Structure 1
Amino acid sequence: MITAVSELVKYYSSFVDAELLKAYLAGSRSEERDPMEHIEAGVQWICQAQDAFECGGVARSYSMIYQPYFRKSGWFAPYPETTGYIIPTLIDYARLVNSQELVDRALRMADWECRVQMPSGAVQGGMIDQASSPAIFNTGQVIFGWIRAFHETGEPAYLASAIKAGKFLVSQQDEDGAWRKSLSDFTMNSRMSSYTYNTRTAWGLMELARVTGDEEFEEAAIRNVEFALGQQLENGWFRSNCLNDPSQPLLHTIAYCIRGIMEIGALMKNQEYIARARRAADSVLARLRQDGSLAGRFNERWEPAVSWRCLTGEAQMAGIWGRLYQITGQPDYLKGLRRTNAALRKVQFLRTDQPGLYGGISGSEPIHGMYGRFEILNWAVKFFLDAQMLELSLMKKSDIRLQSNGLGDVASAN
């Protein structure tokens, strides 16, 4: 009883905070500035998140309030899943500004991922200070980081970790292409036996197949996409596509699902996969508001299900539309990317000296929305940077297409 009361006191008293008040009054947010300034600020936040701990991993988030579930505020422990796919983003920026220091930062992340990889080859669910359990999705995301580190250095240890992870994923896949085992202990209360957004895991396997030539990885990726397409309705919406509410999936997981199918389609030059990804992406684009924002959840009729925005999902959709512009040349996709990016630049924390906030992107807008409440999420910043760098590249080139070797393909890779 005393402990419960103490937790409530900590929770409510944490709202008495000057930075939180500024955030509500829009004082910490930015007017739109030069895109490169926004990108630089986002990278600075990633560096602060890595420096919050000495291990090399990136802090999961920075919480503006005391979170009773985690029993803390401020910086949360490093998160293996998202540190993994932050690696390519940071290297993309490092190459853009010619910074070996930032490449070295990214490689420290990759080294940490090698150290914390589970003996089975899996990557654990949750933060590094939580009980370790294998997680299919998390494992797939770290593969992107190991592959990029291998490409940058030629170091065999990175590829070895990626292959070990890939073999774990194949071993856990059911014959129909779904993953129902090793979904991490953090999903035990879920109403679903599998998640359609694991197409982003399949994309990781397909990238690994391209590096290794191992057909086993490619076949597993294709099986999962085929399973996912069986979950798609005629209007493009996907069933079983959310961690906690499949009737109105989060924009974040909607985007995960679309991206995996689209990128595998692009790698295979499979027009059916690209068309099915476009069906969903076009439905979301049609719901883009005049101010460039989107609802945080959508039901099976693509109707907005909540009033708040999921900023992570918006950045992901911006990246998807940018990639579809590269693939198809359709100008509406470029317009969608630019409108959404502009809306996101307006909610980035820039007018603050707080290191945990400066350059950050909150989970929701308003910040008390039901995704990453009162938190700056490292994956929100990652996808923000990807989308902003992709726009920067596209606006420098008059005719980018899928086979381009410019920054656009690199920055949008994952």
Structure 2
Amino acid sequence: MMLTYFAAESVRDFFRIKFPGQKTSERLTDDRHHLEAAVAFITRSIEQGKGSASSKGYKVGKGWLPPYRETTGYIIPTLLDLADHLKRPDLALTAERLGERLSELQEPSGGFVERDLWPDSKPVVFNTGQILHGFNALILRRERKDLIPYARRAGDFLVSSADETGSFVRNEHYDMVHSYNVRSAWALLTLGRLLGETKYENVALANADWTVSQQVDNGFFLNNVFQPGWNANTHGIAYVLQGLIEIHCISGRASYLSAVRRAAERIVSVYDTKHCMASEIGENWEFLARHLCLTGCAQLAIVFFRLYGLEGDKRFLNVGLNLLDDVAATQNVMSPAKPYYGGIKGSFPIYGRYAPLQYPNWATKFFIDALLAKQRALTGPTGRSTQLSAS
């Protein structure tokens, strides 16, 4: 049976937002409006956490959700980027408060448990890795050396969770391996370079190697679903690609960039044909859902902007721009009095299977990251890799 999907153009036309054909200056002006609305949503989510945590998001009919430790962790680098970009030192101070609070919540093992949202009984690799991103950013960019012991304990927890192949086989969601944990390996490699600890670097690179081994010839990554029986999601696919491309940029290993390029080439082909990326994807890159995962679209845009910056291939830039436009077209920028003003929905339509009826804080975080990555990309490809990254 043929399924009907939302074409990218129909999303933009529905919301009557101009995208194609605009001059760069006009596009950046629009971006500033979207950015400021998104920042308003993120700061409002932090207000719900009394200034020291970010609410998981806003749910229609329920209101603001409890704080989410994992995403609070990786919102920290975004706040630091915004503090620089918008000349708002208050956002950097907020980032520091988030890091301080997370340090108080660390388990003796070094991991983190999501006690605010659900009664998890154990810390897990992915959540710990995302909080480590926050610690790394504060240590590197705010000289918060007092957070080094907490970062080190998180790093030790990640090392203890890996086997000899580099796969994180312990302390996993649903006791199953996940290729998307390479985003935690990125944090671990950053920590290793920061502290000069080869044990962190070795496990991180081994995990990146294991992740590449999960890629099949058509660019798809196996073992990359959130729960048993689920389909792969663009959110998880983008986690893999961003983790690998950033580990490449730190380590210089070409195999990681090649793996990202292989998947990106296939995504370009799919997007050029379908004019969108459905939320759920099969092993042959077929669409398995009728809705978009807006988080995944924003994340993929970040990856494509990064690829363009490294390689100068305008196909990557164009797909990145279109994916970001798809997300921007769904943002509420007209109703400042609404609690979800500036937020990004989990799914489009909002009742889709991914975070239904929600405006998750991480969707808006990645939208902000993508807007900033777009501006960097439009300055032109650099052809250079960064040696250390903490976002």
Any idea what SS the aligned residue of 1:376 has?
strand
Q: Report what 1:17 is aligned to.
A: none
Equivalent-residue separation in structure 1 for 2:43 and 2:53 (angstroms): 10
Please tell me whether residue 31 in structure 1 is matched to residue 13 in structure 2: no
- Using structure 2 for the length normalisation, give the TM-score: 0.89
1:219 counterpart letter in structure 2: N
Equivalent-residue separation in structure 2 for 1:357 and 1:301 (angstroms): 36
Q: Report what 2:235 is aligned to.
A: 252
- Using structure 1 for the length normalisation, give the TM-score: 0.84
User: Does the 8 A contact of 1:30 with 1:348 survive in 2?
Assistant: no
Using the TM superposition, name which of 151-160 and 140-149 deviates more: 151-160
Any idea what SS the aligned residue of 1:234 has?
coil
Equivalent-residue separation in structure 2 for 1:268 and 1:253 (angstroms): 22
Equivalent-residue separation in structure 2 for 1:270 and 1:350 (angstroms): 41
2:107 counterpart letter in structure 1: M
User: Does the 8 A contact of 1:310 with 1:365 survive in 2?
Assistant: yes
Equivalent-residue separation in structure 2 for 1:200 and 1:222 (angstroms): 12
**Are the structure 2 counterparts of residues 29 and 245 from structure 1 closer, same or farther at C-alpha, using a change threshold of 3 Å?**
farther
Pick from 87, 90, 98 the counterpart of residue 98 of structure 1.
87
2:282 counterpart letter in structure 1: N
Using the TM superposition, name which of 214-223 and 280-289 deviates more: 280-289
Root mean square deviation, CA, Å: 2.3
**Are the structure 2 counterparts of residues 245 and 322 from structure 1 closer, same or farther at C-alpha, using a change threshold of 3 Å?**
farther
Any idea what SS the aligned residue of 1:388 has?
helix
Alignment deviations for residues 173-228 of structure 1 (CA, whole Å, 9 cap, x no partner): 11121112112xxx33xxx6211111111111111111111000110011111222
Equivalent-residue separation in structure 1 for 2:199 and 2:67 (angstroms): 31
Pick from 230, 244, 252 the counterpart of residue 213 of structure 2.
230
**Are the structure 2 counterparts of residues 34 and 111 from structure 1 closer, same or farther at C-alpha, using a change threshold of 3 Å?**
same
Any idea what SS the aligned residue of 1:151 has?
helix
Deviation at 1:352, TM superposition (A): 1.9
2:176 counterpart letter in structure 1: S
Equivalent-residue separation in structure 2 for 1:245 and 1:131 (angstroms): 17
Deviation at 1:359, TM superposition (A): 0.4
Alignment deviations for residues 55-95 of structure 1 (CA, whole Å, 9 cap, x no partner): 61100011003xxxxxxx11111111111111111110110
Pick from 101, 121, 125 the counterpart of residue 110 of structure 2.
121
Q: Report what 1:149 is aligned to.
A: 138
Q: Report what 2:257 is aligned to.
A: 274
Give the share of equivalent positions with the same residue, in percent: 31
Any idea what SS the aligned residue of 1:50 has?
helix
Q: Report what 1:305 is aligned to.
A: 288
**Are the structure 2 counterparts of residues 291 and 126 from structure 1 closer, same or farther at C-alpha, using a change threshold of 3 Å?**
farther
Q: Report what 2:297 is aligned to.
A: 314
Any idea what SS the aligned residue of 2:221 has?
coil
Any idea what SS the aligned residue of 2:265 has?
helix
User: Does the 8 A contact of 2:178 with 2:226 survive in 1?
Assistant: yes
Q: Report what 1:338 is aligned to.
A: 321
1:402 counterpart letter in structure 2: R
Any idea what SS the aligned residue of 2:343 has?
coil
| Count, aligned residues | 370
Equivalent-residue separation in structure 1 for 2:117 and 2:149 (angstroms): 21
**5+ long unaligned stretches in structure 2:** 1-10, 19-28
Any idea what SS the aligned residue of 2:280 has?
coil
Deviation at 1:157, TM superposition (A): 2.0
